[in-house]
Structure 1
Amino acid sequence: MHRPRGAVQRLRERHRHRPGPRLVPPSGERLGQLTGTRSHPWDNLRVVAVSTSPDLATELERLAVSLESLDLTATRLAGLTTEARRDRAAGIIRGYLLPRLVEPKAPLTVVLAGPTGSGKSTLLNSLAGTEISETGPLRPTTRGPVVLTSPETRDHFETIGGVHCRVVAGKAPVLKRLALVDTPDIDSTVSGHRRMAELAIDHADVVVFVVSALSYADEVPWEVLRRAVSRGTPILHVLNRMSRGAAGAVIDYRARLVDAGLDSTVLRISEHRIRPGRHFLPPAAVTELARQLIALAEERDRHHAEAFQRAVEATAATVEEIIVDAGYARAWAHEVVTNLRSELAEAAKGLDLEGIIEVPAPEGSARQSRRWRLLVRTMEHSRFTSLRRRIRGRLISRIEADLRVAVLRSGDVALAVAGSESSVITSDLRRLVVEAVDGWFHYVDRMTQHMPRRQRDLAAAVLTAASLGSDVDGDRPLLGEGRLELVRRARRELEGRLQVVYGHLGERLVELFGTSLVPPDVEDLAVTLEAMVARSHFADA
């Protein structure tokens, strides 16, 4: 199987040792009420320009189609999260990479993300100098993305990642090059809020990750932070609502970022008392954050190129992981089918047949044995037929129940493929069970054909009962000295016929697996990835 081994590494090797230009401080521009500038925390990164040739757009479109058409059912049944990563990669291509090629001059999308009570909405209002996003003690406050952008670009932000946004137009010139997006809480208890925030992060050029001294160590923010990092999104860390005695939180947060291999630059914003009726902080509180964002806007084209390159590399890495998962699923599916056949081949021997015979059997005394023999000897043919019919029905029901247990024993995979055990126990399989039981009864009848006519029905009943685990032949065996051998032969015959039925069940499951556990064919995906990487020609800005 062809694998694009090292495609991402080759992509990165082209620029590993190239120095990147530092940002030129922009002329003072107003974002709401604020002016000023300073370089942003990731200004030492290499900045590159990306070829926006139609060929690259074509290869990205082909890669998205290949991902969307890939059947990854086997990876899901193998316990992998490949489908979610596939869907995310395709969404990033269609929702972020392709639009960036089509509209390279679109405003930078700066997403404010963070947990409950971190102050995201207050920061957005403070940067704008007016109330843009609702704030308050009731949670959740922000129920959907809120975008602050210019009137000229508001149509561009009506949806982000397929999520409808509330768009507010601002007059600050910087908003023509930069849009601010407030998102729902990433740890919201409301279903869908975290998903909205994650989609916004997936489509961001920059993430302003806002946490408070009370929430920076929580697990959910770090899960979302890792998601942003996995896409290569530049992140500006803001530790908000800091009290005077919380200096240790800054040190601890920076240490955690270093341990995670992330930029440890943290912008600290102190806690402020907000007057009633106001929904934003004093201008001085967000001066540093505003300067960072203005610097981003001044270098919009460079940051577009850098964010694009990172997203391409991250997407290529994700596709490589999908190809690796597909290889694992192929080996896993083969092992599942192999084990299934061998397990079901032995399942018939372990069938529990106790309790099927409802006729009272003797418990050892000669008197009880004689009573049993007398009971069966005096049965009319119709009573004997009725008895056999009941035994037959119970035996068929027991076998079908054991077949369902066999499906359950084969694991969650079988049920996930089949939907339920009843969809595996089809009419064809039931017919085979009936044929196996009826054929076995005829075989038992043939084994007693050599006996006198008056004893045949009784001998068949005794042999049937003995084969099913009920010893009813008493102290004077009707079946003669070869009784044990007759019982063994009858039992082997039943097991042989049941092995055919269980084997058919195995083939039925294998057939279902053959439909649902088709190992993903990643040949086309691998070739498409190589073509996309080959078209991703990066050059120094």
Structure 2
Amino acid sequence: MIRLVNPTDSSYPGSDRASHAAGNGAGATQQDAAVELLEQVRTELATLTLPLVLPGAEEARTTAANALGQLDDYILPRWRSLDAPLLAVVGGSTGAGKSTLVNALVGHPVTRSGAIRPTTRQPILLHHPQDADWFTSNRVLPTLSRVHGELVKANTPASRAGAAPDAGAMTSLVLVADQAVPQGVAILDAPDVDSISDDNRQLAGQLLAAADLWLFVTTANRYADAVPWKLLLDAASRDITVAIILDRVPPGAEQEIADDLHAMLNREGLAGAQLFVVPEATLNQLGMLPPESVQPINAWLANISEDATGRAEIVRRTLNGTVRSLSERLTVLAQAVQDQHDAGNQLGEDVQAAFADAATRIGQSTSDGTLLRGEVLARWQDFVGTGEFFRALESNIGRFRDRIGAFFKGQPPPAVKVESAIETGLQAVIVDQAARAAEDADQRWRADPAGRQLLGLDDLSGVTADFPAEVAAEIRAWQGEVLALIRSEGAAKRSQARWLSFGVNGLGVILMIVVFSFTGGLTGAEVGIAGGTAVVGQKLLEAIFGEDAVRRLAKEAKTALEKRCASLLDGQQQRFLDRLAPAQADAKRLDELATRLGSLGSLGKLGTQGGKA
């Protein structure tokens, strides 16, 4: 019978023992510092995002997820409880005989074996009854719920032992207490590392990453397969203790195959791996191997169980190697984060450059006389006239103040038409340049895989529907600012109130014309017209306010316009920038943590207790 339990951390009695195992003083301080550092690393990994589509980004995301999982499943639990029993994970290829081997190690069927693939879907953890407290909680492999399994009844064949192949319980761990398992060493039967099931392969990798030592099962026919060797090379990089179990070796071929496998292990940095040869044998009626075929493996496990110092050395090697591997992965992730930052900055700079160009073009259009063409120029000429006014200016500039005063003794034409023409012309310029900038930014992003992914199916190559109305409102607000400048300046010119008969609106329009009337962009006859317009407007304002005041007013009006244009462009630009996710990690901080982990992974004796765990 199998029953489900829901353990909690608070029910785990091993936590106090773990603290005690570390000892007091320097040992406890070292352990606390290590756990604190690892918690910092975990926080960084948990919040790490790599949103941009870049070369290697998907691999980096997988690396981060695996590193986070190993921190939770093995590194942090092991650092918190250094004297916990060793977890020996039995892994290997499909059909290598893992479950049959596990049954042989305990001397009776406990896990299902047979021809159906995959056979092991729900991992089974065998432990000595006195070690139960270490595994009933979620101290290790916290994402897997615990299911308590009872020992299989006597004479139950291996084909019906353990969880049925169709159980589909890939998120749970079956716990079986068995006196045949040596105290201080738990044995976990894992799914196939090369299973046709993605879930099986993923779970197998998770379990192997949580192991203190591996019992890696392969066969005489498959010991050179690529998938197992990829995992073995990972083990070598982590300096994990590995026992290679060469299963189903034909009689007479033991030495030849063992020598070849030894040579491969030496070449790949696994010279220290223990190698056991299990000869091909006929299973009995219960599906069991002869006991003598696994006797050397049982003796090895028994020695580990009885040797506290040896267990501590296995913990030290595996834990230190795993932490060093984590350090290396953190360095890789730091570079991936930096690549994300650089790519995001480049995308942001592309957008900002497009809209900065638009701001420059708007600035040129509002300062080189471009706006004095067409409707604005026509309405301005209607406003000031082109006959006596210009002849007076050309005949005697010295008598300008007197002549202009006589000219405007009556009511001048209304300025509203000029204001309206300025609004229309300026709106057209701003909307056109903003649309060009959006199109440019959109094209730059679509030329980049990361930018293309951020845009998706959205089209940002034009301005938003409400942008023209927003521009018109800003222009009117700016014109109001200009009129306020005129009122403020006119209040200080009470002695020349006769000039204000021209009207605040009229003088405001003239100031706007002065702002727009530099003639750098005009050619041919337009130079004379706009040039005369500029001189007229400037001289008229100077006659009323003085030369310095006009220069100051024009500068203030120009600056106010530029600020409003910049704000309008920022709104359109922000549509792109909002798609750039804010940085969640700092490459420098990850590098620093990697360096500290490298030092942690080079520690010597970890301070575990003697005796049985």
Specify the TM-score bucket, using the shorter chain as the normaliser: 0.5 to 0.7
CA contact (8 A) 1:149 1:168 kept: yes
Q: Distance in 2 between matches of 1:527 and 1:103?
A: 26
Q: Which amino acid letter does the alignment assign opposite residue 49 of structure 2?
A: D
3-state SS of paired residue (1:262): coil
State the match for 1:117 in structure 2. 95
Aligned equivalents of 1:325, 1:224: Cα separation in 2:
24
Structure 1's 222 and 336: CA in aligned 2 closer, same or farther, altered over 3 A?
Answer: farther
CA contact (8 A) 2:52 2:450 kept: no
1:274 maps to 283
The change in CA–CA distance for 1:258 and 1:328 in structure 2 (over 3 A counts) is farther
8 A contact 1:147–1:182 mirrored in 2: yes
- Cα distance change on mapping 1:430 and 1:267 into 2, 3 Å: farther
* Residue equivalent to 1:201: 208
Structure 1 pair 279/181, CA: closer, same or farther in 2 (3 Å)? same
C-alpha contact (below 8 Å) 1:110/1:204 kept by paired residues: yes
- Which has the higher mean CA deviation after the structures are superposed, 144-153 or 202-211? 144-153
Deviations 1:485-507 (Å, cap 9, x if unpaired)?
Answer: xxxxxxxxxxxxxxxxx999887
Aligned partner of 1:57 among 19, 35, 42: 35
Count how many residue pairs are aligned between Structure 1 and Structure 2. 375
User: Which structure would you say has the larger RCO, counting Cα contacts within 8 Å and 6 or more residues apart?
Assistant: 1
User: Are 2:342 and 1:331 aligned?
Assistant: yes
Shift of 1:432: 6.6
Separation in 1, partners of 2:342, 2:42:
26
Match of 1:210 in 2: 217
- Distance of 1:157 and 1:176 partners within structure 2: 13
Separation of aligned partners in 2, 1:107 and 1:235: 17
Structure 1 position 403, deviation (Å): 9.3
Partners of 1:539 and 1:405 lie apart in 2 by 58
Q: Distance in 2 between matches of 1:191 and 1:291?
A: 35
Q: 1:224 aligns with which of 223, 227, 231?
A: 231
CA contact (8 A) 2:124 2:190 kept: yes
Aligned to 1:471: none
Higher helix share: 2
Change (3 A) 1:268 1:328: same
Residue among 437, 457, 460 paired with 1:421: 457
**Residue 196 (structure 1) shift:** 0.9
* TM-score of the two chains, using structure 2 as the length reference: 0.53
Q: What is residue 522 of structure 1 aligned with on the other side?
A: 587
Structure 2 equivalent of residue 443 of structure 1: none
Q: Kindly name which structure, 1 or 2, has the bigger radius of gyration based on alpha carbons.
A: 2
Structure 2 residue aligned with 1:512, among 547, 566, 579? 579
Alpha-carbon distance between aligned partners in 2 of 1:297 and 1:70, rounded to the nearest angstrom: 40
1:79-98 correspondence runs (5 A):
79-98=57-76
Matches within 5 A, 1:23-38: none
Superposed displacement of residue 167, structure 1? 1.3
8 Å contact kept, 1:122–1:135: yes
- % identical equivalent positions: 24
Is 1:106 the counterpart of 2:84 in the alignment?
Answer: yes
Q: Alpha-carbon deviation of 1:156?
A: 3.0
Measured in 1, the distance between the counterparts of 2:320 and 2:106 equals 30
User: Quick one: distance in 1 between partners of 2:249 and 2:73?
Assistant: 36
> What secondary structure sits across from 2:216 in the alignment?
strand
CA deviation after TM superposition for structure 1 residue 74, in Å: 4.1
Q: Deviations over 1:47-95 (max 9, x none)?
A: x999453222222222211222233334867535222222322332332
Partner of residue 267, structure 2:
259
The alignment partner of 1:267 has SS state of: strand
Q: For residues 444-459 of structure 1, what are the structure 2 equivalents within 5 Å?
A: none
Structure-2 separation of matches of 1:225 and 1:306: 16
Q: What is the CA distance between 1:287 and its match in structure 2?
A: 1.5
CA deviations over 1:246-283 (Å, ceiling 9, x no partner): 555444433333332222753221111113x3222111
Residue aligning to 1:128: 106
TM-score, length basis structure 1? 0.59
Measure the CA separation in 2 of the matches of 1:155 and 1:426: 63
CA distance change for structure 1 residues 505 and 246 in 2, over 3 Å: closer, same or farther?
A: farther
- Residue 316 of structure 2 contacts residue 604 of structure 2 at CA under 8 Å; is this kept in 1? no
* Unpaired stretches in structure 2, ≥5 consecutive residues: 1-21, 145-171, 358-435, 472-568, 608-613
| Contact kept in structure 1, 2:104 and 2:290, CA below 8 Å | yes
CA distance in 2 between partners of 1:51 and 1:67 (Å): 27
Partner deviation per Cα, 1:396-442 (whole Å, 9 max, x = no partner): xxx9xx99994884243234334x222x5499546679999xxxxxx
Q: 1:435 to 1:296 in 2, by over 3 A?
A: same
1:128-527 paired onto structure 2 within 5 Å: 128-158=106-136, 160-161=140-141, 162-163=143-144, 164-172=172-180, 175-244=182-251, 246=253, 248-263=256-271, 265=273, 266-275=275-284, 277-298=285-306, 299-335=310-346, 406=443, 409-418=446-455, 420-422=456-458, 424-425=459-460, 428-429=463-464, 508-513=575-580, 515=581, 518=583, 520-527=585-592
Tell me, what secondary structure is at the counterpart of 1:228? helix
> Which digits, 9 at most, give the CA deviation of each residue in 1:357-397, with x for residues without a partner?
xxxxxxxxxxxxxxxxxxxxxxxxxxxxxxxxxxxxxxxxx
